[in-house]
Amino acid sequence: MNRPCCVVGCKSSDWRQVKIRHRVPLEGSRRAEWLQRIGLSVSDRRQDIRVCGRHFKPEDYELSSVFMQRFGLDLKRHPLKADALPSLFLPGGKRTTQKTVRKAGMRTVATQTTVECQSVATQVHMGLKMLVSTKTQTECSAAPHEAPVAATALVAAADVAPVPQLPADFRPLRGSTPVPIDDSFTADEEKPAAEVDVTYLPSFSESFCSTHQDESTAVPTGVEEPLHAERKFIVFESSLRELLANCSVCGQAVGNLNFSVVGTLVTVEGVCEQQHKLRWRSQPLVQGSGAGAGNLLLAAGILYSGCVVAATIRCLNSIGVQTITERTFYNYQRAYLLPAVKQLFLKKQAVMVNALADLQVDLAGDGRCDSPGYSAKYLTYSVLAMQNGCILHTEQVQVGESPEVPNSVSMEKHGLAKCLTAVEKLGINICSLTTDRHPGVKQYCRKNKPNMPHWYDVWHVGKGLKKKLLAASRKHRVLSPWIQSIINHLYWVAAMGQGDGDLVVSMWRSLLNHVCDKHDGHDGPYKKCLHDQLEDREWMSPTSPAFHQLKTIVDNPLLLRDIRRLSPEVQTFSLESFHNVLNCFAPKSNAFSEDGMQARTWLAVLHFNENAGRQQALTREGEERWKIKSSKARRGHFTVAAVKEEPSYGYVEELLQHALDLCEHSSYKESFQGSEEAAPCHMSLAYERPSKEELIAQRRTRFPTPSTS
């Protein structure tokens, strides 16, 4: 039984003929607006106030009922748009009338409306809710379909609900349309013209772009979303054939559907029994280049998320998803994706430089090779501004790109030189530089930057020191309990010394007295230990072999020289975190081209800088979140680490929009010409390349080869 309509003045004889009911919103300003429109008090607190479907226009719905029935969708749910309001047959509204003519059998329906420069579509509502398109002085036919017995045929008045304009390329079929008329009407019966259930006639493109959703998950369709933000779906071919099996104009079957696939873009063409031509695309084309939006966005998603193209395409191919080829990906990358990355990186860098223009900036620098050992091809040298914790600049160095880089060992020195030159050109005032103890870096700073304070990172010094102590403890086990205390002492010395070389060395060498339970009378400015009374523990003897080995390590002349330059404040651990991010975008197990490696480095910089200021996450109760971590080096040792907030990826949205903008304004050829830059020569070009036949003739193998008979 249909529930009554709560609109003031809606008669039972009217709402009983309409099965659709919509519930008034339960709260908020929209509930008040609904109640005012239907003639109820805004203070009415009833939870189940219903409004029948006759009070809404066809354009208020997400989908037309004809489209839903034609493609087998559920007719019990008619989801309204998010901003829909009741607008027809409301209290105090004007009613216009039209006469309906009672006539048995079949009748030809035609319009007498003259419209200049456009085709006018009238909408005929039958029990089947079949759409009939008629043109001025034209009779259009509709093939009979199975329909409920009770059917009405009404032609909507032009002043009731505006009929959407058909697209310019839409040509309705001309013919004679016999429309069955229900015998239940009485002659000369007067009904309000606005009561006619005017069914929306979607255009050809709109018919297949609509989305059927429940009201709880419906997305407002009034605002046009950018292509990269619009939702995409994986559709099976069988489901697509089922969707396109019937013509959207006449409802007849469409035979011989032709699928044309270009990457992720599929174009379907066919002709129905009434000779209506069907042409449907699975995605829009980008203006300018004419490329499929899905193809471009897939290539952009692969690059901007740090995925490897070969593995991604192999994954899609393994489950039958139509996708682009590797060659297409690299064309898109060169034409649109790499320029977009460069534009955004330079834009973000300019903003950072402006913020640091009036400051004395402390820099931390470190290099990262693309492969371990001494066989690296690329080195990425990065400098980090300690004032904001962000990567300020990066330089990519390739072996053999210049006479100064004959091998992988010399790449770090050359990378630092290029970085400092670039930072100075940006107008940054460098206060100090903190790096590791790379010999080439130390030599460069000593000769070329004598007035710039150059500090050594305590983490790198401690890392090398710990390796030596661990090696010594394998022979002298008494050293093992002291290793972590010695490393802690190194950090304390760097912080308390405040750059005073003599004080730092004196505090460091006091360690040799401390392990022997002697806590005063140290050499140099640091005369006495500052700690309180200590608990009794296993002290070392000054004459033991273990102490002699420890003294050799602690008093190493090179270590004492470098300890004087331990950085009191700046550390490069953030650069180690950046290198972890870079490994996600450019794994060391994969080889990349020069421009591909540079772009992935910039992507890592964009991601790192955007998430550099993440705070510690909180629980629902507002407490800080922590997680337990197990030490890899110290088995059985556990620590706690702060859980950070989830990272953000706002830069990806900007990159996608940049790529789409570039694609709209240039073709492949134009983009290739604009992106041609001088790239370092390949390493193999430095040597004469022999022919393949020559190498095959010289080839020898130690494995037995099967004899051929």
Give the pLDDT confidence of 355-364 residue by residue, as tens digits. 999 899 999 9
Q: What is the mean pLDDT of residues 525-541?
A: 86
Q: What integer pLDDT is reported at residue 400 of this predicted model?
A: 81
One domain, residues 370 and 491: no
- pLDDT digit string, tens, across residues 640-661: 999 999 999 999 999 999 998 8
- Contacts with 689 (C-beta within 8 Å, 6 or more apart), sequence order: none
Q: What integer pLDDT is reported at residue 235 of this predicted model?
A: 93
Percent of the chain at pLDDT above 70? 75
Q: Can you give the residue range of the structural domain that contains 439?
A: 356-457+570-591
Q: What integer pLDDT is reported at residue 202 of this predicted model?
A: 37
Residues in the chain: 709
The model's confidence at residue 677, banded by pLDDT at 50, 70 and 90, is low
Token couple for 422: 């670039």
Residue 644 to residue 134: CA distance in whole angstroms: 63
Mean per-residue pLDDT of the chain: 78
Token couple for 582: 């870079």
pLDDT at 126 > cutoff 70: no
One domain, residues 486 and 439: no
One domain, residues 542 and 587: no
Tell me the DSSP string of 645-701: PPP--HHHHHHHHHHHHHHHH--HHHHHHHT----PPPGGGGSPPPPHHHHHHH---
Residue 520 in any domain: the answer is yes
One domain, residues 440 and 581: yes
Q: What integer pLDDT is reported at residue 464 of this predicted model?
A: 92
Residue 490 to residue 568: CA distance in whole angstroms: 11
Instruction: Say if CB 359 and CB 429 are below 8 A apart.
Output: yes
Number of domains in the chain: 2
Residue 528 in any domain: the answer is yes
Q: What integer pLDDT is reported at residue 447 of this predicted model?
A: 93
Residue 385 in any domain: the answer is yes
Residue 151 in any domain: the answer is no
Most confidently modeled range among 250-264, 274-288, 599-613:
599-613
- pLDDT digit string, tens, across residues 82-118: 888 888 888 765 443 333 333 333 333 333 333 333 3
Q: What integer pLDDT is reported at residue 57 of this predicted model?
A: 85
pLDDT at 583 > cutoff 90: yes
Residue 471 in any domain: the answer is yes
Query: What are the counts of helices (DSSP H) followed by strands (DSSP E) for the chain?
Result: 21, 16
Q: What integer pLDDT is reported at residue 210 of this predicted model?
A: 36
pLDDT at 327 > cutoff 80: yes
Q: What integer pLDDT is reported at residue 125 of this predicted model?
A: 36
Identify the residue whose tokens are 């409920």: 148
pLDDT at 75 > cutoff 60: no
Q: What integer pLDDT is reported at residue 676 of this predicted model?
A: 60
Q: Model's pTM, two decimal places? A: 0.66
One domain, residues 510 and 527: yes
One domain, residues 395 and 478: no
Please state whether beta strands 454-456 and 429-435 pair in parallel, antiparallel, or not at all (unpaired): parallel
- pLDDT digit string, tens, across residues 413-425: 999 999 999 999 9
Q: What integer pLDDT is reported at residue 204 of this predicted model?
A: 34
Q: Which of 157-161, 492-496, 555-559 has the lowest mean pLDDT?
A: 157-161
CB atoms within 10 A of CB 181: 21
Token couple for 600: 């992935």
One domain, residues 463 and 413: no
Q: What integer pLDDT is reported at residue 554 of this predicted model?
A: 93
Q: What integer pLDDT is reported at residue 68 of this predicted model?
A: 57
Q: What is the mean pLDDT of residues 288-303?
A: 90
- Contacts with 536 (C-beta within 8 Å, 6 or more apart), sequence order: none
pLDDT at 168 > cutoff 70: no
The model's confidence at residue 3, banded by pLDDT at 50, 70 and 90, is confident
One domain, residues 395 and 451: yes
Q: What integer pLDDT is reported at residue 256 of this predicted model?
A: 85
One domain, residues 484 and 536: yes
Residue 425 in any domain: the answer is yes
The model's confidence at residue 603, banded by pLDDT at 50, 70 and 90, is very high
Exposure string over 397-410, b if 16+ CB within 10 A, otherwise e: bbbbbeeebeebeb
Residue 463 to residue 324: CA distance in whole angstroms: 46
Residue 365 in any domain: the answer is yes
Tell which wins on pLDDT, 383 or 75.
383
The model's confidence at residue 681, banded by pLDDT at 50, 70 and 90, is low
Residue 227 in any domain: the answer is no
Q: What is the mean pLDDT of residues 170-186?
A: 36
One domain, residues 507 and 556: yes
One domain, residues 471 and 452: no
Q: What is the mean pLDDT of residues 667-679?
A: 65
Q: What is the mean pLDDT of residues 201-215?
A: 36
One domain, residues 449 and 582: yes
Question: How distant is the alpha carbon of residue 204 from its chain centre?
Answer: 32
Residue 128 to residue 52: CA distance in whole angstroms: 19
- Contacts with 453 (C-beta within 8 Å, 6 or more apart), sequence order: 431, 432, 433
Among 506, 512, 523, which residue's Cα sits nearest to residue 479?
A: 512
Q: Which of 21-35, 161-175, 488-502, 567-581 has the lowest mean pLDDT?
A: 161-175
The model's confidence at residue 136, banded by pLDDT at 50, 70 and 90, is very low
Q: What is the mean pLDDT of residues 131-140?
A: 34
Residue type, 337: L
The model's confidence at residue 679, banded by pLDDT at 50, 70 and 90, is low
Residue 453 to residue 432: CA distance in whole angstroms: 5
Instruction: Say if CB 37 and CB 56 are below 8 A apart.
Output: no
> Domain holding 385: CATH number?
3.30.420.10
Q: What integer pLDDT is reported at residue 688 of this predicted model?
A: 82
Q: What is the mean pLDDT of residues 543-554?
A: 93
- Where are the strands (E) in 55-147, listed by range? 97-100, 106-108
Exposure string over 434-468, b if 16+ CB within 10 A, otherwise e: bbbbbebbbebbeeeeeeeebbbbbbbbbeebbeb
pLDDT at 20 > cutoff 90: no
Residue 181 to residue 600: CA distance in whole angstroms: 68
Q: What integer pLDDT is reported at residue 473 of this predicted model?
A: 92
Q: What is the mean pLDDT of residues 354-373?
A: 90
